[in-house]
Amino acid sequence: MNIGITCYPSLGGSGVVATELGKLLAERGHNVHFITSGIPFRLGKYHPNIFYHEVEVNQYDVFKYPPYDLTLANRMAQVAKNEHLDILHVHYAVPHALCAYLAKQMVGDQLKIVTTLHGTDITVLGYDSTLSDLIRFGIEQSDLVTAVSGDLIQETKQLLQVERPIELVYNFVDKRRYYRKEVSELKKVFAPNGEKLIMHISNFRPVKRVPDVIEVFRRVHRELPAKLLLIGEGPDMSIARKMLCEYGLDGATHFLGKQEDVAEVISLADVMLLPSEKESFGLVALEAMACGVPVVATNVGGLPEVIVDGETGYLCECGDVQALADKTLALLKDEALYQRFSRTSVERSCNTFCHEKITTQYEELYVRLLAGTHAAPLAKPI
């Protein structure tokens, strides 16, 4: 098959999954064409079946803002025609599903549109009354729609009154890359005296509840020697730094910024802490589990579909920092319990969320769509 993929190319769950999926499809002999504003963050080395088509937005005085959406739609149509695309798989509803719809109007019905919903395109943008009708239209005009968790499917249908079927296709990890790496020497740099390492990875936005991360670490640090590793960047990083300074914990914290080799970094951790307010799936949790790192998280969104409470980690109520701290301490103080959770985490990630299994699921959906076994869109063109 000739498959086009559009995603946000920067660091983020939707872009990471889209890029990894494209690479896996190329390994299976499909021709994959990335149509994005920049080279996807995880694209990596050259592959003969992968092609990159840049979306360049020109500046014109007549436009107050650069017309990125229209330029993207036009570029999609160009690539679809020139490369004879069978499938255009777009990740994130806005603006990608809408741009794909416009591209299809230019190219013809032979181009099939697959839209994958990843989370904030529904859980944040879907609540914006100026965007909700557009998002609904983009979903209903897609030939096939998938979402990364059952919780996200339910929220999409309730919030936007979407009637069409939405397929559940979980995110995945490539078990050839995500496993516990040998980092004992590197770990001595961050924990020279054998301290436990607690890790948090996010975009440091309010929804990630960064102050809760700091508060949980403060309570854990009172009970046993520990260090905090913060991975990523974002607006709430300044709040984290201020709180750590006030608590006198800045010397027990390492800020590592954005990291590309996530598996090696995660392998440093003893516990992954995710006290988020919302998570449609929780890719960081899955990546941690694949590396044998138990996750202590909140019981929100799609996280209960990833983490098995009491087996691969613990789930606590959002905002309950004492419970989060208690569960973290329970894992760090009981080596037998920790090792059991670690083994179960790896097993679950490799079985339920295996890259081979999920890639096959997408392939089968593509084949069904091209064979005409999926229903036509419900909405009428505007």
**Is the distance from CB of 89 to CB of 101 less than 8 angstroms?**
no
Question: Strands across the sheet with 295-298, in order?
Answer: 253-257, 226-231, 196-201, 271-274, 295-298, 313-316
Dihedral of CA atoms 141, 146, 152, 153 in degrees, nearest 10, equals 70
164/229 same-domain check: no
**What average pLDDT is seen over the chain?**
92
Structure tokens at 235: 């607006």
138/207 same-domain check: no
Asked if the structure places residue 382 within a domain, the reply is: no
Give the lowest-confidence range in 11-20, 230-239, 279-288: 11-20
pLDDT at residue number 380 = 39
Residue 378 has pLDDT above 50, yes or no: no
Question: Strands across the sheet with 31-36, in order?
Answer: 50-54, 31-36, 2-6, 87-91, 112-117, 144-147, 167-168
312/341 same-domain check: yes
Confidence band of 61 (pLDDT split at 50, 70, 90): low
Asked if the structure places residue 278 within a domain, the reply is: yes
pLDDT at residue number 11 = 59
119/193 same-domain check: no
Q: Report the C-alpha gap between 83 and 371 in whole angstroms.
A: 20
Give the count of domains, the chain. 2
Structural domain including 68 reads 2-172+355-370
Per-residue pLDDT, averaged over 26-35, amounts to 96
Residue 382 has pLDDT above 60, yes or no: no
Give the lowest-confidence range in 54-68, 70-84, 126-140: 54-68
Residue 62 has pLDDT above 80, yes or no: no
20/150 same-domain check: yes
More confident residue, 215 or 61: 215
320/273 same-domain check: yes
Q: Report the C-alpha gap between 49 and 22 in whole angstroms.
A: 10
228/312 same-domain check: yes
191/303 same-domain check: yes
249/319 same-domain check: yes
pLDDT at residue number 261 = 74
Asked if the structure places residue 179 within a domain, the reply is: no
Residue 238 has pLDDT above 90, yes or no: yes
Burial readout 119-146 (b: 16 or more C-beta within 10 A, e: otherwise): bbbbbebbeeeebbebbbbbbbbbbbbb
Asked if the structure places residue 178 within a domain, the reply is: no
CATH of the domain at 44: 3.40.50.2000
Q: Report the C-alpha gap between 337 and 373 in whole angstroms.
A: 48
Confidence band of 120 (pLDDT split at 50, 70, 90): confident
- Chain segment 276-324, per-residue pLDDT in tens: 999 999 999 999 999 999 999 999 999 999 999 999 999 999 999 999 9
Confidence band of 56 (pLDDT split at 50, 70, 90): confident
- Chain segment 243-260, per-residue pLDDT in tens: 999 999 999 999 999 887
Asked if the structure places residue 378 within a domain, the reply is: no
pLDDT at residue number 377 = 47
301/363 same-domain check: no
Asked if the structure places residue 262 within a domain, the reply is: yes
43/147 same-domain check: yes
Structure tokens at 218: 């403060």
> Percent of the chain beyond pLDDT 70?
95
pLDDT at residue number 126 = 54
pLDDT at residue number 8 = 87
SS3 annotation, the chain: CEEEEECCCCCCHHHHHHHHHHHHHHHCCCEEEEEECCCCCCCCCCCCCEEEEECCCCCCCCCCCCCHHHHHHHHHHHHHHHHCCCEEEEECHHHHHHHHHHHHHHHCCCCEEEEEECCHHHHCHHHCCCCHHHHHHHHHHCCEEEECCHHHHHHHHHHHCCCCCCEECCCCECCCCCCCCCCHHHHHHHCCCCCEEEEEECCCCHHHCHHHHHHHHHHHHHHCCEEEEEECCCCCHHHHHHHHHHHCCHHHEEEEECCCCHHHHHCCCCEEEECCCCCCCCHHHHHHHHCCCCEEEECCCCHHHHCCECCCEEEECCCCHHHHHHHHHHHHHCHHHHHHHHHHHHHHHHHHCEHHHHHHHHHHHHHHHHCCCCCCCCCCCC
Q: Report the C-alpha gap between 196 and 227 in whole angstroms.
A: 6
Burial readout 301-332 (b: 16 or more C-beta within 10 A, e: otherwise): bbbbbbbbeeebbbbbebebbebbbbbbbebb
294/343 same-domain check: yes
